[in-house]
Amino acid sequence: MSQNSIQSISQILYQAHQAFLQMSSIKGIERSQAVLRMVQKLEECFDDILQANTLDLEISKEMAVPNLILEWLKLTPQRLKSTLEILKTLADLPDPFQKVINSPYQVTYCQNYSQLMPLGVIAFIYEALPELAIIIAGLTIKTGNSLILKGSSEASNTNSIIVQVLQVALEEANFPPSCVQFLPPEEGYSMEELVTQDQYLNLIIPYGRPSLIHKVTHIATAPVLKSAMGNCSLYWSLCHDLDLVRHVIVDSYNTIPDQVNAIEKVLINKQQKPNSIIRLFNHLKEQKFNLVADESLVKEFPEYLTLIKPNQWNQPFLNKTIAFRFVDNLNDAIAWINEYSSGHADCLVTESYQEGRIFAMEIDSALIYINTSPRFYRYLQGSNSIFLGVSNQKGNRRGLISLETFTTLKQIVVGDGEI
């Protein structure tokens, strides 16, 4: 890139920072009204967005884009409607900054409390999945942050019209014009340029395949919130609730289109009945799953399984492939999961309360599911939370990426004026 383009992206981030400062005086009810205005404008341009998406799909098919990306790219009417419902719910949520939190320590003769505050300028780098630009725009506006969007070239037309609509809505709501900005792929802005602009950039969220997450994490000079997808594990203990095992596995794939918490590795206790294992394999085959396993299991069930490659145990498949292996007991399962899992969501099916407690305490993952499906919901009907994804990194932003993820904490100490 030329020096001029570097200055250009620096200017974009400076403008985003200035917009963030201007938003500090905007009240919570105004931020909620702005989110509703975004919904209104997106509904007015509903058909235009879908037409742009159809064009992106046609171009991507001609370019032989991988099927996974095509699936993520395809913005169906139902997906878009569901996204707008998420925004409506988001607008109705309480202002996250109304809540005052007890201070972690007290100063003598002073009043001490902590307050949530906006983060600043957030960059979202994402592969396909155009509806995520809408959701994160809602989350950032609701929390008083500025947003820089960098989508993949496959969704260029869809992303462009979505951002244009969002910007019009925010302009009508009297928000600073630079609070949501888009870096068009055709203008040559590189990911490397964006993630190393740390003067005004307060958080980077990459979302997509592991290669993207890895690249951003290793290049960025600003803070990164790593998201994770797939490569979740399930340990099937010595219980006989085959129906629950089948449900947990299949249901974990029902998040459309990005199956965030999909169970891709299943550990089976060696003492499990062969007949139960075969029934599980048959059920998964009927559901169009591809089944692989280590050498010992393939030899025992050759009609159901093919051999997994050694380097695939710690990588997500993201294509309805499940890998199986035997383990001796719970301790072996825990050790294996902690070594190979992506560390964002892992699962146990057992009839033992003690096993459940040990699993919950010793698995080094952000989310633990015991005797229930780990299926990921961006919005669960009847709940009061919206989630963008799941982070597997350690620290205070580990786990579900929600409104609070886009805030930071400050402590206020108020004295009585006496020395």
Instruction: Tell if the pTM clears 0.85, that is, is over it.
Output: yes
Same domain? 76 vs 214:
yes
Mean pLDDT computed over 202-222: 95
Same domain? 28 vs 155:
yes
Beta strand 232-236 with 345-349: parallel, antiparallel or unpaired?
parallel
Same domain? 135 vs 207:
yes
Per-residue pLDDT at 2: 40
**pLDDT, tens digit, for every residue of 18-32?**
999 999 999 999 999
Per-residue pLDDT at 112: 80
Question: Is 376 inside any structural domain?
Answer: no
| Spatial separation of the C-alpha atoms in residues 372 and 257, rounded to whole Å | 21
Q: What angle do CA 12, 15, 16 make, to 5 degrees?
A: 85
| Spatial separation of the C-alpha atoms in residues 287 and 320, rounded to whole Å | 9
Q: Residue 6 above 80 pLDDT?
A: no
**pLDDT, tens digit, for every residue of 223-245?**
999 999 999 999 999 987 899 99
**pLDDT, tens digit, for every residue of 55-69?**
999 999 999 999 999
Distance from the first to the final alpha carbon of the chain: 58
Count of beta carbons in the 10 Å neighbourhood of residue 145? 24
Domain boundary among the residues 208, 227, 246 is at 227
Per-residue pLDDT at 355: 96
* Burial degree of 383 (CB within 10 A; 0-12, 13-18, 19+): exposed
Domain that holds residue 365: 232-370
Question: Is 170 inside any structural domain?
Answer: yes
Instruction: Look up the CATH number of the domain holding residue 116.
Output: 3.40.605.10
Question: Is 98 inside any structural domain?
Answer: yes
How sure is the predictor about 3, in pLDDT bands with cuts at 50, 70 and 90?
Answer: very low
Same domain? 250 vs 220:
no
Question: Is 395 inside any structural domain?
Answer: no
Number of structural domains found in the chain: 2
Q: Residue 5 above 70 pLDDT?
A: no
DSSP 44-72: HTHHHHHHHHHHHHHHHHHTT--HHHHHH
Question: Is 409 inside any structural domain?
Answer: no
Q: Residue 4 above 70 pLDDT?
A: no
| Spatial separation of the C-alpha atoms in residues 368 and 377, rounded to whole Å | 15
How sure is the predictor about 419, in pLDDT bands with cuts at 50, 70 and 90?
Answer: low
Q: Residue 137 above 90 pLDDT?
A: yes
Structure tokens at 337: 């999961």
| Spatial separation of the C-alpha atoms in residues 252 and 237, rounded to whole Å | 18
- Which has the closest alpha carbon to 341: 362, 320, 358, 355? 362
**pLDDT, tens digit, for every residue of 151-207?**
999 999 999 999 999 999 999 999 999 999 999 988 888 899 999 999 999 999 999
Instruction: Look up the CATH number of the domain holding residue 268.
Output: 3.40.309.10
**pLDDT, tens digit, for every residue of 262-287?**
999 999 999 999 999 999 999 999 99
- Which has the closest alpha carbon to 201: 316, 123, 101, 109? 123
- Identify any residues that bridge with 268 across adjacent strands, giving them in sequence order: 236, 326
On whether the CB atoms of residues 169 and 38 are closer than 8 A, the answer is: yes
Domain boundary among the residues 184, 201, 227 is at 227
Mean pLDDT computed over 78-93: 96
Q: Residue 128 above 90 pLDDT?
A: yes
Q: Residue 7 above 90 pLDDT?
A: no
**pLDDT, tens digit, for every residue of 248-257?**
999 999 998 9
Same domain? 311 vs 164:
no
Structure tokens at 349: 């099916």
**pLDDT, tens digit, for every residue of 330-356?**
999 999 999 999 999 999 999 999 999
Same domain? 171 vs 115:
yes
Return the higher-pLDDT residue of 405 and 380. 405
Q: Is 385 left (phi over 0), alpha (psi -120 to 50) or beta?
A: beta
SS3 at position 416: coil
Who contacts 46 (Cβ-Cβ below 8 Å, separation ≥6)? Answer: 77, 80
| Spatial separation of the C-alpha atoms in residues 393 and 254, rounded to whole Å | 24
Question: Is 405 inside any structural domain?
Answer: no
Same domain? 219 vs 257:
no
Same domain? 270 vs 125:
no
Per-residue pLDDT at 409: 86
Helix (H) or strand (E) holding 327: strand 321-327
Same domain? 90 vs 145:
yes
Question: Is 8 inside any structural domain?
Answer: yes
Per-residue pLDDT at 413: 83
| Spatial separation of the C-alpha atoms in residues 312 and 324, rounded to whole Å | 12
SS3 at position 396: coil
Q: Report the percent of the chain where pLDDT is more than 70.
A: 97
Same domain? 251 vs 286:
yes
Beta strand 263-269 with 321-327: parallel, antiparallel or unpaired?
parallel
Same domain? 298 vs 312:
yes
Per-residue pLDDT at 337: 97
Domain boundary among the residues 210, 227, 244 is at 227
Same domain? 198 vs 243:
no
Question: Is 309 inside any structural domain?
Answer: yes
